[in-house]
Structure 1
Amino acid sequence: MAEVRQHVVSVIPDDEGKEKFKKSSDVAFYRRQMQGPNLQHRALLDTLVLTERGARLELLNPDTQTKLLLSLSPCKNDTVRILIDELQPIKARYRVPDVITGELQCEQLRVVRQSKLCVFLSWSSGRHQICVWHFPFRLEILCEDKVMVTFNSRSKLWFETLQDPPSSSSHGSELPEDASLWKETFRQFVDVKANGPSSVGSDLSLHGFSHVFGLPEHADGLQLRDTGDGDAYRLFNLDVFAYDLHRRLGLYGSVPLIVAHKPDRTLGVFWLNASETFVNVHYRSADPQDGETPRLKRRRREPQTDVHWLSESGLIDCLVLLGPGPQQLFKQYAQLTGYQALPPLFSLGYHQCRWNYDDEADVKAVDAGFDRHDIPYDVIWLDIEHTDGKRYFTWDPVAFPDPSGLQRHLEGKKRKLVVISDPHIKVDPDWSMYREARDGGHFVRNREGEIYRGSCWPGESSYLDFSSAHTRAWYSRCFGLGKYKGSTSSLFVWNDMNEPSVFDGPEQTMPKDAVHCGGWEHRDLHNLYGFYQHMATAEGLVSRSAGLERPFVLTRSFFAGSQRFGAVWTGDNVASWEYLQISVPMLLSLSVAGIAFCGADVGGFVQDPDPELLVRWYQAAALQPFFRGHSAKETKRREPWLFGEEVTARIRTAVQQRYCLLPYWYTLFHQAHTCGLPPLRPLWVEFPTDQSTFSVDNQFMIGGALLACPVTEAQVKEVKVFLPGSNEVWYDVHSAEEHKGGRTLSLPVTLDTVPVFQRGGSVLCRAAGGASCTADLQLLPLSITVAPDPQGVAEGELYLDDGHSFSYRDRKSFCRRRFSFLSDRLLCRAAGEGETFECDTVVHTLTVLGLKRKPSSVIVHVSGAKDLSAAFEFLESCFTLTVKNLELRVLTDWEIEIR
């Protein structure tokens, strides 16, 4: 309790009313850029050089005579990279490594026309063009002769050049006249900048767009708000306990991606910078503004969104993703930063966590409780108290004397254990891991060159420098079974506190003038810290299995590309209806920005939910990608059976329905892994031309087939559900009732009601029967539900593999089956070629919704076998056909004919 209180107190205003965390007005580089003059740079068109990777030319700041180098790289996936660096820096500026997954395949540019005013460059057979204007410098990106994006449209380009320190020995003690630029103070903390102010920034105008999304992680709505009414969106990873809602303060992770959407185009802007970053968003109507040029006024026939990026250091590395649709954009972004890792199947089941389960007996009792109450689950978790004095990779010898035996007990029931591993290492010279890290040079250092020390759960701690490949390799080896005593292959990992959290640090994180390998300041790569720990942990689990098994790692801190390593959750939320409500847009924002395996703590991490809130949270979270109950140690115990049989029954139903739907979830994650499509989708992703969907963030699509509108308010008797698409039909998954799209449905609800609708035109696979965990689920037959569209057509897909290994990748050991419904026939066929996976999975039940006539017979055709007549039931009240006892192998071609 004392530790919790310390943590809570550290994030609230102190007695002087000073807040723990900065507002944008508290940040010097933000003030300089916002209050400074607009610097009208010149593009020196006579320096233009075409290269194999695009083009480069010089920019000149007339006021300072500073020259910058602009590089333009059009890529073959309809992405444009804009890179601006100093022409002659005194030393290299930080370029974010390891986020972009490979060398970009660039196309060659050609000059279309050139004058003293501008130069037009073209690529992609002339479909796309870039126009660079001489003065004031701006850069327009055109698609089929229409301007989509203007870079530096309002002359916000800002680039502070690096400077030599005043004294190589003083490291800031002898400051120049403009000393405030070299040293910044916030509360009692002093930040010394080794090479002076080095911030960068620019603005972009997105023409025709009035809806933009992205920039996770913020506890706010899905659509980004106009920042003219307050602080900018801040991207600076922080440990914010019980964070305030509807604020733009940066939370645990950062993805500097904005996605803009309008009916005929989706595009993205990815600002690849890992330092503290602010983003201002301003929506402009179609009306001309005072002071605009005639050219801009003519363009004002459509709305516009202006986006202003400001970063503390690094360089300008801006990638514009041109879509044109949501699916193409998601793929373009995944090609840049990596596809979502295909998770092991068990990780899509339910996870039970608490800070902390007391001992081995407590873990076994909770595990047995799930079986006793017939609630499936796959993973139980241990927080920091499982260790020996907060030393990670150790076990409390009293509470957990036989950790490998505990894991074997769980593995005997086909379940897993997850333990926490934070980035801080207790300063303890008697501990071998501390000595190894110290002697191996694996710790971050302070600006004086000594090992940096800060306070966290163990007390005085040092922090591993995960930006070092050498350190990551060492850390990965720590997960080896021979090294990590008491671990087994069924142990998986949770990275927490990796913003990094430093209880006595500025804004409860690491000082920006701490030094990483290569001499880089922490300010340059702060937002990458958790990304690198996540990477090292995932690689450690893969190495532990000799490269055979997929890892599962949850991280609190993240950056663009973290999707390659595992899952993310929304941190220390609160047991209140408002936090349940905000979890939906928070997860949608993460999904839009590529972090597809995401979830929020069920029930709220702090405070105690009442039974109604707990039930509603389970119902909502069962329809979201990562499904974990978690609570702080000062809260009351809240295992699902502790609130009475009615509550237990409702939670059991929600969890069981999650498990029934896992074949569909797993298929969706395969799509995310191969195509970049997130399983959880805003409505506009599936209905891109329907403007009534653009601002909806209280309901969502699960893939393309299911629409969910979880109940997130107390004691409601009716909810309003918007069913998009005037030409669509929707089927209530519980009643099978058919509804036309393009309208808002008033739906009566009880505490048992979870509004979910299957989209007409889809075929959905579920597991038929009950299971105690995902391993049992794989043995169950399937149930197929066909929901025809108004033309009587439907399609769906099923992905299967062994659920845990890399055989799907290395030996193509998987299968994809396509189900097509047309002319009252359901066909099962292969969806690919050369696949080698073998399984005995069968289809047991077929349900066809919206069938307008009673069939006379149902005939099953199997290749190479005699046709069979199947028994069926038809409910005229809801026009539903059900065929049972089919026993049709999924891997066999067959069809079912309804006569």
Structure 2
Amino acid sequence: MSTSDTGVQAVSACEDVSVLDEAVDKSKFKSCSQLSFYRRQKRLLPGKSLYRALLDSFTLHNGIAKLQIIHEETKVPLLIEIYGIEGNILRLRINELSPLKPRYEVPDVLVTEPALHRLTVIQEEADVVVLGYDEGDHKVHITASPFQIDVLFKEDVVLRINSLGLLYFEHLQPPPKKSRDQSEEKSDVPAISSEDGEEDLGLWKEKFGSFVDYKASGPSSVGLDFSLHGYEHVYGLPERTEPLQLQSTSDSNAYRLYNLDVFGYELQSKMGLYGSVPLLLAHKPEQTIGIFWLNASETLVELSTKPVFIETTTDMTKKRVVPETDIRWISESGIMDAFLLMGPSPFDVFRQYTQLTGSQSLPPLFSLGYHQCRWNYEDEEDVKAVDDGFDEHDIPYDVIWLDIEHTEGKRYFTWDKEKFPSPKKMQESLQSKKRKLVIISDPHIKIDPEYPLYSQAKEGGYFVKDRQSKDFVGVCWPGSSCYLDFTSPEVRKWYSAQFTFSSYRGSTDILFVWNDMNEPSVFKGPELTMPKDNVHCGGWEHRDLHNLYGFYQQMASAEGLIQRSGGIERPFVLTRSFFAGSQRYGAVWTGDNNSEWGYLKISIPMLLTISIAGISFCGADVGGFIGNPDPELLVRWYQAGAYQPFFRGHATMDSKRREPWLFGADNTQIIREVIRERYALLPYWYLLFYRAHVSAEPVMRPLWVDFPQQLETFGIEDQYMVGNALLVHPVTDPEVISVDVLLPRSDEIWYNFRTFERFVGLSTLKVPVTLDSIPVFQRGGTVIPLKTIVGKSTEWMKGISYELRVALDSKRSATGELYTDDGHSFQYLHEDHFLYRRFTFHKNILSSSCADEKGRYSTECVIERILILGLRKQPASVTTIEPGRRHQKVTFAYNPRTSVLTVEKLSLGLGADWKMHVA
């Protein structure tokens, strides 16, 4: 939900909270030109750097190279630190040598202090130092004057740092002196008016509308440029509504990383949205690299791609054109802390990033099913009616959600006594059907001395403070509210304890959590968020850590659910605001989208961008949160959502009811089959999340990730891979009768996932579509595990047998995997309580073997059915071979039209080694 939701009338009558239209009101948000730190940095134009390295200060100790650089005009020194980190990572830190007081350095995002890799000095001269890294493959050239760092891979320049001379560092200063008659509202520095009317009241205050931002430490921004040699395809920087491939920016139109509550956000915009991950990936056929800019303050990123002419012959007569992309990072405060992820493959970069920030948590299995949400299901009877409706219409689902109206006057961790008088009984009813409940818990706390959560937090000093050290008071759904300071470990510990059954009366172990409005959203705040001069634990200003706020709430919520279970059960927490590392704590979604075709279309590049930034568990509200989708749009959104990681239908309270059975029998049938297809594929989804957890492989990913050398894939954003085996092309336009689908690589075989029709790759197919289908293809050479029968929810399907769908490649081979465990606990970590199997089809033998010997999970599930796609002739016999048992011939069916062999009524042990011979 957002500040503009039409349920605002439910807010306390004493508060005047305005309602916005469905379109975002851009006047409430700053443009880049309205940011004074950005304007100041933009005055520094590309050219010769004013910084010079003092090479006589260079030291190399314990894998860390240090040296000082000095500004030729101000003569103020900075300290440079270069780290070699295991796994082909370089780290560059730039800070003041002697700051007036400590500058903010982002805590808690890195999972551990990175292990260092040895750096060596290869060359040291008067104007250059050359460092070796990673067994000679990488070198780091440090040039003294002007200061510049070049990173080379096998003697070729990969990237240059400060080659444009845009290194910018605002040093902390003592506040300006005031005469006796000067009030706090005045400044010694004259005001500067910008073209758009915003006032920059000197360097110590900044005005936006009626809001004044007081800067206790004065200006403190940092900036640095990186030139990526040979790269023109650049990705990353979620969350945004632009194409998958980052676009060149114009003046005052940079990518803005600043978490904001933007209701009905604008399409094709670089403005800040709910979450941000300062990770950029650059890709070319030979190499993928990444830049991770670890800074949680407001950050702007500019980029431009240009041709560079390189001499190619010794007589200097020929030139070749090589692209180069220039990246400029600008942050309002903190230090420069950049990690260079040197690949060389896309999957290497993913591993390097998650080595730093952690991998996607393995979610409980139920959370990969379908979720049904609305602001708000009215009462317990409404919940029961919706729950029963899924059974009556034979549609599986796992979770029903409750928004803020389920609470007592927007007081979180409470229940409305009239509408939800028996919350435990309601949950017991859901539990009897093996389903779950998710409730909302936002960061704002209603000011009410009779409300225990408020009174405890007030007494403990747990709220964010304003600049005058008083509890900050903002307006959100309950009316006047205070905001918990989740940056404090003590506050997080206290908040986590609120999820215990003794504290959260009426909750049970099937109740899970949704963190909304945690950018944080403040209805009457600057840009509808918290003032930057608010103060957090440790005395840090909100400006220093703004983008971390939601990250910390999700951390506390996840820890609360884990503690509630005694450390046994995996949590499920959805958050709207996120940062680097949020993948460790649960899922995210794309916020308050509209029920329009453009929002369905943009959801694909939005989710792909979030996925390649480490957060695999992501989704968009099916049907669009705001408005009323027509039946065709709703059906198409269900079809897309079923093939995206987080699958939830959601709607605002003033929209028409849109449970899946309310749009006519034909549409109900289509939606039913879409959801059932999702459930049949749950073994594959679960495998992909395990791979994301242990190997950092994005669950949903752009085509170029799996086909890194095929240029045709680099700009595609309307189709994507789900794991390495499925290619999906949702239909995102109305009244479509066909779509163009690129099947990559000429040596690849692809199979229509439903009809089994066979296609050869490196071609663009015009695929006919009807309302009941979207193009989904299985890649030849893969094996996909499925369930043979779909149940009412994931837990109903626990004992159901498996199917293997084997798709042969041009060499008549295939490989795939299956992962399973109990689906809900942490035993897979502590007791190796899992099974990880590998399936291989080679020379007409399908074999099952152990992919991890530590797996000891006991299950009675069997593989009952096997389909082999692309078998070009009918076999004479099919025989199963199991240890300790006789060879057994089995019955089979072969379809010569589709070249599909079907073997059924098998009983092959899931955890057993076996072979099936096709003669």
Q: TM-score, normalised by structure 1?
A: 0.97
Could you give the per-residue CA deviations for residues 158-180 of structure 1, whole angstroms, max 9, x where no partner exists? 00000112369999546333651
Contact in 1 for aligned 2:406/2:415 (Cα 8 Å): yes
Match 2:643 to one of 601, 606, 623: 623
Q: Is 1:234–2:256 an aligned residue pair?
A: yes
Contact in 2 for aligned 1:288/1:297 (Cα 8 Å): no
* Mapping 1:251-650, distance limit 5 Å: 251-287=273-309, 301-650=321-670
In structure 1, the partner of 2:228 is: 206
Match 1:132 to one of 139, 142, 145: 142
Contact in 2 for aligned 1:11/1:240 (Cα 8 Å): no
Contact in 2 for aligned 1:8/1:241 (Cα 8 Å): no
CA shift, 1:51, in A, is 1.3
In structure 1, the partner of 2:676 is: 656
Between 852-861 and 595-604, report the one with greater CA deviation.
852-861
Contact in 1 for aligned 2:111/2:356 (Cα 8 Å): yes
In structure 1, the partner of 2:128 is: 118
- Percent of aligned positions that are identical: 52
Could you give the per-residue CA deviations for residues 835-861 of structure 1, whole angstroms, max 9, x where no partner exists? 221111111111011111111111111
What is the rounded CA distance, in whole Å, between the counterparts of 2:28 and 2:186 in structure 1?
29
Q: Is 1:851–2:871 an aligned residue pair?
A: yes
What is the rounded CA distance, in whole Å, between the counterparts of 1:230 and 1:619 in structure 2?
38
User: Which sections of structure 1, spanning at least 5 residues, go unmatched?
Assistant: none
Letter of the 1:313 counterpart: S
In structure 2, the partner of 1:747 is: 767
Contact in 2 for aligned 1:172/1:182 (Cα 8 Å): no
Letter of the 1:430 counterpart: E
What is the rounded CA distance, in whole Å, between the counterparts of 1:601 and 1:37 in structure 2?
42
User: Equivalent residue of 1:19, what SS?
Assistant: helix
In structure 1, the partner of 2:270 is: 248
Match 2:209 to one of 166, 180, 187: 187
Could you give the per-residue CA deviations for residues 484-511 of structure 1, whole angstroms, max 9, x where no partner exists? 1110111000000000000000000000
What is the rounded CA distance, in whole Å, between the counterparts of 2:603 and 2:534 in structure 1?
34
**Structure 1's 183 and 229: CA in aligned 2 closer, same or farther, altered over 3 A?**
closer
What is the rounded CA distance, in whole Å, between the counterparts of 1:245 and 1:299 in structure 2?
40
CA shift, 1:9, in A, is 1.7
**Structure 1's 299 and 453: CA in aligned 2 closer, same or farther, altered over 3 A?**
farther
User: Equivalent residue of 2:817, what SS?
Assistant: strand
CA shift, 1:108, in A, is 2.5
Could you give the per-residue CA deviations for residues 510-531 of structure 1, whole angstroms, max 9, x where no partner exists? 0000000111000000000000
CA shift, 1:111, in A, is 1.1
Could you give the per-residue CA deviations for residues 244-269 of structure 1, whole angstroms, max 9, x where no partner exists? 00000010000000011100101000
Contact in 1 for aligned 2:446/2:481 (Cα 8 Å): yes
Letter of the 1:126 counterpart: G
Contact in 1 for aligned 2:177/2:188 (Cα 8 Å): no
User: Equivalent residue of 2:202, what SS?
Assistant: helix
Letter of the 1:176 counterpart: D
Contact in 2 for aligned 1:700/1:707 (Cα 8 Å): yes
Letter of the 1:9 counterpart: L
Contact in 2 for aligned 1:166/1:174 (Cα 8 Å): no
CA shift, 1:834, in A, is 2.2
Between 276-285 and 345-354, report the one with greater CA deviation.
276-285
Contact in 2 for aligned 1:494/1:553 (Cα 8 Å): yes
What is the rounded CA distance, in whole Å, between the counterparts of 1:171 and 1:828 in structure 2?
78
What is the rounded CA distance, in whole Å, between the counterparts of 2:469 and 2:160 in structure 1?
44
CA shift, 1:601, in A, is 0.1
Match 1:165 to one of 148, 169, 175: 175
User: Equivalent residue of 2:308, what SS?
Assistant: coil
Contact in 2 for aligned 1:443/1:462 (Cα 8 Å): yes
What is the rounded CA distance, in whole Å, between the counterparts of 2:319 and 2:469 in structure 1?
55
Between 18-27 and 93-102, report the one with greater CA deviation.
18-27
In structure 1, the partner of 2:54 is: 44
Match 1:108 to one of 118, 138, 160: 118
Could you give the per-residue CA deviations for residues 53-84 of structure 1, whole angstroms, max 9, x where no partner exists? 31100010011111000000010111111000
What is the rounded CA distance, in whole Å, between the counterparts of 2:50 and 2:8 in structure 1?
51
What is the rounded CA distance, in whole Å, between the counterparts of 1:633 and 1:314 in structure 2?
41
Could you give the per-residue CA deviations for residues 542-569 of structure 1, whole angstroms, max 9, x where no partner exists? 0000100000000000000000000000
CA shift, 1:11, in A, is 8.7
Match 2:157 to one of 143, 147, 150: 147
What is the rounded CA distance, in whole Å, between the counterparts of 2:309 and 2:298 in structure 1?
34
User: Equivalent residue of 1:558, what SS?
Assistant: coil
Contact in 2 for aligned 1:172/1:192 (Cα 8 Å): no
What is the rounded CA distance, in whole Å, between the counterparts of 1:415 and 1:707 in structure 2?
30
User: Equivalent residue of 1:609, what SS?
Assistant: coil
User: Equivalent residue of 1:513, what SS?
Assistant: coil
In structure 2, the partner of 1:22 is: 30
What is the rounded CA distance, in whole Å, between the counterparts of 2:188 and 2:798 in structure 1?
68
In structure 2, the partner of 1:177 is: 189
**Structure 1's 119 and 608: CA in aligned 2 closer, same or farther, altered over 3 A?**
same
User: Equivalent residue of 1:155, what SS?
Assistant: coil
Could you give the per-residue CA deviations for residues 404-451 of structure 1, whole angstroms, max 9, x where no partner exists? 111111011110000000000001111111010011010000001111
Letter of the 2:258 counterpart: F
**Structure 1's 633 and 11: CA in aligned 2 closer, same or farther, altered over 3 A?**
closer
User: Equivalent residue of 1:649, what SS?
Assistant: helix
In structure 1, the partner of 2:194 is: none
What is the rounded CA distance, in whole Å, between the counterparts of 1:261 and 1:177 in structure 2?
46
Letter of the 2:222 counterpart: V
- How many residue pairs were aligned? 891
In structure 2, the partner of 1:889 is: 909
In structure 2, the partner of 1:875 is: 895
Letter of the 2:601 counterpart: Q
**Structure 1's 482 and 13: CA in aligned 2 closer, same or farther, altered over 3 A?**
closer
What is the rounded CA distance, in whole Å, between the counterparts of 1:718 and 1:790 in structure 2?
27
Contact in 1 for aligned 2:230/2:324 (Cα 8 Å): yes
What is the rounded CA distance, in whole Å, between the counterparts of 2:718 and 2:908 in structure 1?
39
What is the rounded CA distance, in whole Å, between the counterparts of 2:319 and 2:484 in structure 1?
52
CA shift, 1:364, in A, is 0.6
User: Equivalent residue of 1:286, what SS?
Assistant: strand
CA shift, 1:627, in A, is 0.1
Q: How large is the RMSD of aligned CA atoms in angstroms?
A: 1.8
What is the rounded CA distance, in whole Å, between the counterparts of 2:169 and 2:119 in structure 1?
26
Letter of the 2:143 counterpart: W
Letter of the 2:605 counterpart: P
What is the rounded CA distance, in whole Å, between the counterparts of 1:806 and 1:246 in structure 2?
41
In structure 1, the partner of 2:78 is: 68
In structure 1, the partner of 2:196 is: none
What is the rounded CA distance, in whole Å, between the counterparts of 1:750 and 1:526 in structure 2?
46
What is the rounded CA distance, in whole Å, between the counterparts of 1:172 and 1:823 in structure 2?
82
What is the rounded CA distance, in whole Å, between the counterparts of 1:703 and 1:527 in structure 2?
30
User: Equivalent residue of 2:348, what SS?
Assistant: helix
User: Equivalent residue of 1:356, what SS?
Assistant: coil
User: Which sections of structure 2, spanning at least 5 residues, go unmatched?
Assistant: 10-16, 191-200
User: Equivalent residue of 1:180, what SS?
Assistant: coil
What is the rounded CA distance, in whole Å, between the counterparts of 1:301 and 1:603 in structure 2?
46
Q: Is 1:97–2:107 an aligned residue pair?
A: yes
CA shift, 1:106, in A, is 0.8
User: Equivalent residue of 1:751, what SS?
Assistant: coil
Letter of the 1:107 counterpart: H
**Structure 1's 369 and 13: CA in aligned 2 closer, same or farther, altered over 3 A?**
closer
Contact in 2 for aligned 1:444/1:465 (Cα 8 Å): yes
What is the rounded CA distance, in whole Å, between the counterparts of 1:325 and 1:606 in structure 2?
40
